């Protein structure tokens, strides 16, 4: 039976590998950073189980590790990591052609198939997939399948996948953690009552009985919070708890599924506009060695703004039908 914990352990092993490679190369800050994260991923279930029994020490140790990660991040520097020569990479790309897209396409296809049919799969009456979100399990399994597909297509050794994965991870550095950290931040904000505070402020500033005003406040609020926090996953629980649920769903009768899906997409318009989304906007500029670190954001603005306007219109027309 596959559970999300199996994939967390697999990820922990990869992070440990990245840490040991950095240790061998005397990049001590990088080594400590990835090893600490590996320990957190591997011991996450233990921390949660201990918290349920009232033992706070593992959670406190995990908190200390997070503080240590923040300190280590300040010591991490982007350095050139050797890769295959440009001529060799070009020749490989010409040889493989469009086959290079197959592993990338496998990830969404396998994920969707597992989400749709995974809950029905069983062997001898035992479900194939166990505890955890079926979507996360599907995505994790899809990534593993795509890795083996890439190895088969390129005819490379499995060690090449580990080496290239580690090279990309070190190139991104601490920014690789931003999606996880920012999504967690959104949950913390929601649990600490930020959503209620937002609802109070919005109720004072806009006419709460106006459907259009509430839609604009929700959509633009998603964009603004995403720009500030760098990720729509962080903005979504705050804005939905503050505006979406009490004003649009409960007061004006908006359809939750439509409002939530379009609202999340609206938030990602903010992702296209902010340097806080470093893993999306700053890391690609660094990888491509662009002179302007904000070049990616400038290129995305002509898409982000029209998409925002279209999303607001769709939200107003579809969520209340």
pLDDT in tens, 135-172: 888 999 999 999 999 999 888 888 888 888 888 888 87
* Torsion angle defined by CA atoms of residues 105, 111, 114 and 117, in that order, rounded to the nearest 10 degrees: -80
Same domain? 134 vs 199: no
Asked which of 16, 38, 73 is the last residue of a domain, the reply is 73
Q: What is the mean pLDDT of residues 201-222?
A: 86
Do residues 313 and 191 both lie within one domain? yes
Element spanning 85, H or E:
none
Q: Are residues 136 and 262 in the same domain?
A: no
Please tell me the distance from the alpha carbon of residue 117 to that of residue 106, in angstroms, as a whole number.
16
Assess if residue 195 is contained within a domain: yes
Which residue, 25, 48, 73, sits at the end of a domain?
73
Q: What angle do CA 119, 124, 130 make, to 5 degrees?
A: 35
Q: Same domain, yes or no, for 64 and 194?
A: no
- Has residue 170 been placed in a domain? no
Number of domains in the chain: 3
Residue 20 within a domain: yes
Q: Domain of residue 126: give its range.
A: 86-156
143 belongs to a structural domain = yes
197 and 67 share one domain: no
pLDDT value of position 188: 75
The verdict on 53 and 91 lying in the same domain is no
d(CA 222, CA 203): 16
Please compute the mean of the pLDDT values over residues 189-213 and round it to a whole number.
Answer: 77
Are the C-beta atoms of residues 191 and 237 closer than 8 Å to each other?
no
Q: Specify whether 259 is located in the same domain as 190.
A: yes
Whether the pLDDT of residue 250 is over 80: the answer is yes
Close Cβ partners of 237 (under 8 Å, ≥ 6 residues apart): 186, 187, 189, 190, 195
- Please check the confidence at residue 92 and state whether its pLDDT lies above 80: no
List pLDDT tens digits, range 175-198. 788 777 776 776 677 677 776 777
Are residues 44 and 140 both part of a single domain?
A: no
Question: Same structural domain for residues 108 and 195?
Answer: no
134 and 196 belong to one structural domain = no
**Angle at the Cα of 73 from the Cα atoms of 67 and 75, rounded to 5 degrees:** 120
How does pLDDT run across 24-43, given as a tens digit for each residue? Answer: 988 899 999 999 999 998 88
Single out the residue in 73, 104, 130 at which a domain terminates: 73
Residue 168 lies in a domain: no
* Residue linked to tokens 């280590």: 72
Q: Give the helix/strand (H/E) hosting 202.
A: helix 194-205
In the 8-state DSSP scheme, what is residue 240?
Answer: I
Please report the pLDDT score of residue 186 as a whole number.
67
Per-residue exposure over 191-217, b if at least 16 CB sit within 10 Å of its own CB, e if not: eeebbeebbeebbeebebeebeebbeb
Check whether residue 210 and residue 308 sit in a common domain: yes
* In-domain check, residue 80: no
Looking at the whole model, is its pTM more than 0.85? no
pLDDT score of 79: 66
Asked if residue 169 belongs to a domain, the reply is no
Q: 105 and 56 share a domain?
A: no
């Amino acid at each position: 039976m596959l559970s999300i914990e199996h994939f967390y352990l697999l990820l922990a092993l990869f992070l440990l590998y990245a840490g040991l490679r950095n240790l061998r190369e005397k990049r001590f800050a990088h080594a400590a950073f990835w090893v600490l994260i590996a320990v957190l991923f591997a011991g996450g279930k233990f921390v949660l189980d201990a918290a349920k029994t009232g033992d706070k020490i593992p959670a406190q140790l995990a908190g200390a590790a997070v503080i240590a990660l923040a300190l280590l991040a300040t010591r991490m520097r982007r350095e050139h990591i050797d890769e295959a020569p440009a001529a060799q990479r070009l020749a490989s790309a010409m040889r493989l052609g469009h086959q290079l897209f197959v592993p990338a396409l496998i990830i969404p296809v396998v994920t969707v198939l597992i989400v749709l049919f995974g809950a029905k799969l069983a062997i001898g009456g035992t479900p194939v997939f166990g505890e955890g979100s079926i979507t996360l399990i599907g995505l994790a399994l899809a990534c593993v399948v795509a890795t083996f597909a890439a190895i088969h297509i390129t005819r490379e050794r499995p060690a090449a996948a580990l080496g290239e994965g580690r090279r990309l991870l070190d190139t991104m550095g601490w920014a690789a953690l931003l999606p996880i950290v920012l999504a967690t931040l959104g949950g913390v904000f929601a649990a600490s009552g930020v959503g209620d505070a937002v609802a109070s402020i919005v109720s004072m500033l806009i006419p709460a009985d106006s459907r259009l005003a509430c839609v604009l406040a929700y959509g633009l609020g998603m964009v603004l919070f995403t720009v500030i926090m760098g990720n729509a996953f962080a903005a979504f629980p705050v804005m939905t708890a503050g505006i979406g649920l009490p004003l649009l769903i409960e007061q004006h009768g908006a359809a939750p599924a439509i409002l939530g899906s379009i609202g999340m997409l609206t938030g990602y318009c903010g992702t296209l506009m902010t340097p806080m989304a470093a893993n999306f906007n700053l890391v690609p500029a660094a990888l491509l060695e662009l002179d302007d670190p904000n070049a990616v954001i400038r290129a995305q603005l002509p898409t982000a703004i029209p998409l925002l306007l279209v999303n607001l219109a769709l939200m107003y027309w579809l969520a209340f039908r």
